[in-house]
Amino acid sequence: MSKAVIALHGGAGALSRQTMSAEKERDYRRALDAITRSGQAILADGGSALDAVTEAVRLLEECPLFNAGIGAVFTHQGAYELDASIMDGRSRAAGAVCGVRHIRNPILAARAVMEYSPHVMFTGEGAEQSAFNRGLARVENDFFSTPERYQQLQRALAADSGALLDHDGAAASTDPIDPDRKLGTVGAVACDSQGNLAAATSTAGMTNKQAGRVGDSPIIGAGCYVDNATVAVSCTGSGEMFIRTAAANEVAALVAYAGLTREQAAARVIFDQILPLGGSGGLIAVDVAGHVALPFSSEGMYRAVGYVGQAPDVGIYR
């Protein structure tokens, strides 16, 4: 029997300790703890890793503290375009959607693509129609809006600084990781009691990004990858760099072909491949024994690990 576990990330980025409020930090920690416990409960009941990561990421999309679903960041044009992907380690079946504007939970749309379509990725209107045909909830684009994200866009527009990878701006904030400096993808990986792995990733991308821009999150092999023979991976960071290095797949390849542990492979990708390209961020990974790795090159990463039968271990800082 494998050691059942779920791990989450809610974005990596540079810390803003001097402006952090204890109340805001508690909000993040409580949210991560609660969502991790939801995933643990599924695994404890004999549920699959796939169901656990689906529900965890759906809950992260519903939480306005994170940049996925409610609380998503704006494009330059003042709208929302959301991306998500999911993969099952048993069969390497995968599904993804990108550039969607009216799907309440993009991760559910990605799973529907995986389960009901012969394709892997849908984009834009095609992705939405496919989701609505499966009965998924439709919302207006402003459903995802929060005052904090609107203010973040206004700062980016006023600074004329282009798209913010969240580590590229500076603004006073009570967020324990400055929202203008946070790499705000969310994701989950899990190993269930049968030794099956799964991974899921969801994001709204970068503040002030141009409409139509797609990062690594919905790309299988870049922001999300899993194979029971190696490891499950979900990434957060400078999306273009994670695409250029095929980061998630590279972790699995280093395990499969170089004989590295999941921790060695994950660290090599983040520090030896992403950093030299000028990128920043982190990833979460788990293998079939339930061993977890959570490397990140930024000053912090919202993260949590929950083994079945144990209290979640939640972290923000190094």
Active-site positions? 185
- The answer on whether 239 is annotated among ligand-binding residues is yes
- The answer on whether 213 is annotated among ligand-binding residues is yes
User: At a CB cut-off of 8 Å and minimum separation 6, what does 70 contact?
Assistant: 61, 62, 63, 64, 143, 144, 146
- The answer on whether 214 is annotated among ligand-binding residues is yes
CB 200 within 8 A of CB 187: yes
- What is the distance, to the nearest Å, from the Cα of residue 61 to the centroid of all Cα atoms in its chain? 10
| CA–CA separation, 123 and 218 (whole Å) | 10
Which amino acid, 279? G
Instruction: DSSP letter for 282, please.
Output: E
**Positive or negative CA dihedral for 98, 70, 176, 234?**
negative
Q: Could you give the dihedral angle defined by the CA atoms of residues 272, 276, 278 and 284, in that order, rounded to the nearest 10 degrees?
A: -10
**b/e burial code for range 27-62 (CB count within 10 A of at least 16 → b):** bbbebbbebbbbbbebbeeebbbbbbbbbbbbbbbe
| CA–CA separation, 237 and 146 (whole Å) | 22
- The answer on whether 181 is annotated among ligand-binding residues is no
Backbone angles phi, psi at 220, to 5 degrees: -65, 125
Burial grade of 276 (CB within 10 A; 0-12, 13-18, 19 or more): exposed
- The answer on whether 187 is annotated among ligand-binding residues is no
Among the listed residues 134, 71, 141, the one whose alpha carbon sits nearest the alpha carbon of residue 100: 141
- The answer on whether 90 is annotated among ligand-binding residues is no
DSSP H helical segments within 134-223, as ranges?
147-159
- The answer on whether 259 is annotated among ligand-binding residues is no
List binding-site positions for substrate. 213-216, 236-239
List binding-site positions. 213-216, 236-239
